[in-house]
Structure 1
Amino acid sequence: MDKKNALRAGALAAGTTLMMLLMSSPALALTRDDGDDPGQGLSVIETLGLYVVAPLVLFGVIAGLVLVLDKSHESHRVTTRNVKTKPKAASEA
């Protein structure tokens, strides 16, 4: 039974992939559209700066702001100093 389902799933995945490849037309990417006015391409340095360095800097700024502006109280944090491990007495329950 499992082999039949696996075969069906594989055939469906292969068929879907084949249809997607046949329906897409990468050759049309070379044809210019009316009104198409692309600008200058980016250099390697500009590309790395835009897609690698800028997100890392943005992540660092956000993480730094979260750490600096953290207003949570020490008693709300889960640490080994404020965990009470002693069980309640039977008379308190």
Structure 2
Amino acid sequence: MDKKNALRAGALAAGTTLMMLLMSSPALALTRDDGDDPGTGLSVIQTLGLFVGVPLALFVIIAGLVVVLDKSRAKQQGTSRNINVKAKA
């Protein structure tokens, strides 16, 4: 019975998605509004730089600041964890 319910749910979801796609309009993407003044498009290099390069650079900068400003390593060097102490039996 579980397979029938899963199949029915999948068919319903697929049918609903298909109907939504068929009924939706392309949002009038080719029709310009009054006062619409789009700028020039971006080249491939500009697009990659903006959407890939800038986030990667920000990630590297933030990760570098975290590593450099991490103070937990300085605290560990002065603790007793580094001393080998054997318990007397």
TM-score by length of 1: 0.70
Q: Find the counterpart in structure 1 of residue 43 from structure 2.
A: 43
TM-score by length of 2: 0.73
Any unmatched runs of 5+ in structure 2?
83-89
1:63-74 aligned within 5 A: 63-73=63-73
Alpha-carbon shift at residue 32 of structure 1 (Å): 1.1
Aligned-residue sequence identity (percent) comes to 83
Cα deviation per residue 1:31-79 (whole Å; 9 max; x = unaligned)? 1122211111001111111011111101100110111111225677xxx
Please identify, of 52-61 and 16-25, the stretch whose mean Cα deviation from structure 2 is larger. 16-25
Q: Find the counterpart in structure 2 of residue 21 from structure 1.
A: 21
CA distance in structure 2 between the aligned counterparts of 1:60 and 1:27, rounded to whole angstroms: 38
CA distance in structure 2 between the aligned counterparts of 1:18 and 1:31, rounded to whole angstroms: 25
Cα deviation per residue 1:16-42 (whole Å; 9 max; x = unaligned)? 211220232227211112221111100
Any unmatched runs of 5+ in structure 1?
83-93
Q: How many residues align?
A: 80
One-letter identity of the residue aligned with 1:39: G
1:1-93 aligned within 5 A: 1-26=1-26, 28-73=28-73
Measured on the aligned residues, the alpha-carbon RMSD in Å equals 2.5
CA distance in structure 2 between the aligned counterparts of 1:14 and 1:49, rounded to whole angstroms: 37
